Amino acid sequence: MTIKNNHLNVKKKIIVLGGDGFCGWPTSLHLSNLGHEVVIIDNLSRRNIDNELEAESLTPIQSMGTRLTAWEEVSGNKIDFYNIDIAMNYDELLRVINKEKPDAIIHFAEQRSAPYSMKSSKHKRYTVNNNSNATHNVLCAIVESELDIHLVHLGTMGVYGYGTAGVKIPEGYLDVEVKTETGDRVQQQILYPTNPGSVYHMTKSQDQLLFQYYNKNDNVRVTDLHQGIVWGTNTMETKLDERLINRFDYDGDYGTVLNRFLMQAAVGYPITVHGSGGQTRAFIHIQDTVRCIQIAIENPPTRNEKVKIFNQMTETHCVKDLAKLVSELTGGEIAYVDNPRKEAAKNELHVKNDLFLSKGLEPITLNEGLLQEVTKIAKQYAHRADHAKIPAKSTWTKEQKPGIPTKEADP
């Protein structure tokens, strides 16, 4: 039985690149449930990376075939799937775009872990090759198809850097005043200067230039969503059947901070705060991620509009406060470990997110969903956890140490 979602104004054909991933799978189901025609392209590289790392999602995710059959049984809606490496196989990507003639393409298909991107030269090069070629191939294919396709890209808050020097981070563009040669003062809007903190974040900064160029040269309509750290696991649609369950990464490379803390507390592993925990980051629940993407699809830019940039985040927190919150809820012990990353020990972060709020987003806050997440997911699947995979071992430089808890490191 399907759930009744928001009414659909215009039915669209949507290709979801990276539709097998943590954000892409629930987004595909959400858009399909709304009545859109969804086609997934994914090369299953994320599953192969799990094999490489000998790590697994805490939740038992099913094969793509089982997922799609389950969705058809539950909703009556069919989602087509193509296994294509969009970074390596341009011709196949173009062929599918020409065949499917989508109104919109949502681009999630990049290597998204900062620690994985810093593991070795091999991983740095893979991340740059994969992400830069994936984004460029999609843009080229849109132009070559001669179709007026709206591209929605999942970018990151990390392109801004996290030291805002008292400035509330605007949505993509910064208003600046420059002095001309004749001494006049002119106003300009520029892309907010990037300050990436990992090779992965650097590829997202480079993506921004690709979008700006193809938008200027070929009028490609682009929405770039600068997303914060996604937490949570399931959405309304993935809860409908256990075969639809979303992935939950907890390992030292792919697990993101809040989901790691929840899982660590559930399995009795110390909550690993990197360094002093003064790092402040932006967050969003996965249910709000899929809703934001729906809003972006429903509000495309016009043909001559510059790249539309939204900050896709709902709240900011510092790592130490998150650890304390999870510890208070669960009784979990906190361990202050070596920070394997090169990042500021402490930062302020103030972010504008007016665009989504003005379009009706009603954010799910940490206080509402957190406890449910601990009990429902982290505890339910705690028996699947491999404790050896929890510590963050990828270091940003050779001098740094992995984030392994020791009794001595506890405060």
Contact code string over 200-239 relative to ligand NAD, x by CB under 6 A: ---------------------------x-xx---------
Question: Strand pairing of 315-318 and 280-285?
Answer: antiparallel
Q: Describe the crossing of helices 366-373 and 257-267 by its angle, rounded to 10 degrees.
A: 40
- Dihedral sign for Cα 395, 260, 134, 359, please: negative
- The answer to whether residue 200 is catalytic is yes
Which residue of the set 127, 156, 223, 238 is catalytic? 156
Tell me: does residue 111 bind ligand USQ (CB under 6 A): no
The footprint of ligand NAD on residues 250-269 (CB under 6 A) is: 256
Nearer CB in complex with ligand NAD: 40/266 = 40
Interface residue with ligand NAD, options 14, 16, 24, 349 (CB under 6 A): 24
Tell me: does residue 314 bind ligand USQ (CB under 6 A): no
Interface residue with ligand USQ, options 100, 171, 237, 343 (CB under 6 A): 343
- At a CB cut-off of 8 Å and minimum separation 6, what does 20 contact? 40, 42, 44, 46, 47, 64, 67
- Work out what residue 332 binds among ligand NAD, ligand USQ, none; the CB cut-off runs from 5 to 8 Å by kind: none
Q: Residue 203 CB, nearest distance to ligand NAD (Å)?
A: 9
Tell me: does residue 203 bind ligand USQ (CB under 6 A): no
Tell me: does residue 335 bind ligand NAD (CB under 6 A): no
Tell me: does residue 341 bind ligand USQ (CB under 6 A): yes
Looking at residue 206, its amino acid is: Q
- Dihedral sign for Cα 387, 282, 110, 241, please: positive
Which residue of the set 119, 124, 204, 308 is catalytic? 204
- Radius of gyration of the CA atoms of the chain, in A: 21
Q: Dihedral (C-alpha) 135, 136, 142, 148: value to the nearest 10 degrees? A: 70
Tokens of 270: 């110390």
- At a CB cut-off of 8 Å and minimum separation 6, what does 345 contact? 275, 276, 278, 279, 339
Tell me: does residue 309 bind ligand USQ (CB under 6 A): no
Tell me: does residue 46 bind ligand USQ (CB under 6 A): no
Q: Residue 191 CB, nearest distance to ligand NAD (Å)?
A: 18
Q: What is the DSSP string of 248-260?
A: ---STTT--HHHH
Interface residue with ligand NAD, options 20, 56, 237, 338 (CB under 6 A): 20
In terms of Cα–Cα distance, which of 50, 251, 227, 61 is closest to 154? Answer: 227
Beta bridge partners of 274: 337
- The answer to whether residue 204 is catalytic is yes
Judged by CB under 6 A, the stretch of 138-146, 171-179, 272-280, 303-311 that binds ligand USQ is 272-280
- DSSP reduced 3-state for 62: coil
In terms of Cα–Cα distance, which of 190, 198, 210 is closest to 162? Answer: 198
Nearer CB in complex with ligand NAD: 161/336 = 161
Q: Describe the crossing of helices 121-145 and 199-218 by its angle, rounded to 10 degrees.
A: 20
In the complex, the residues that contact ligand USQ under the rule CB under 6 A are 112-114, 156-158, 228-229, 256-257, 260, 272-274, 279, 281-282, 319, 339, 341, 343, 392
Active site residues: 156, 200, 204
Chain residues that interact with ligand NAD, rule: CB under 6 A: 18, 20-24, 42-46, 85-87, 108-112, 130, 134, 154, 156, 227, 229-230, 256
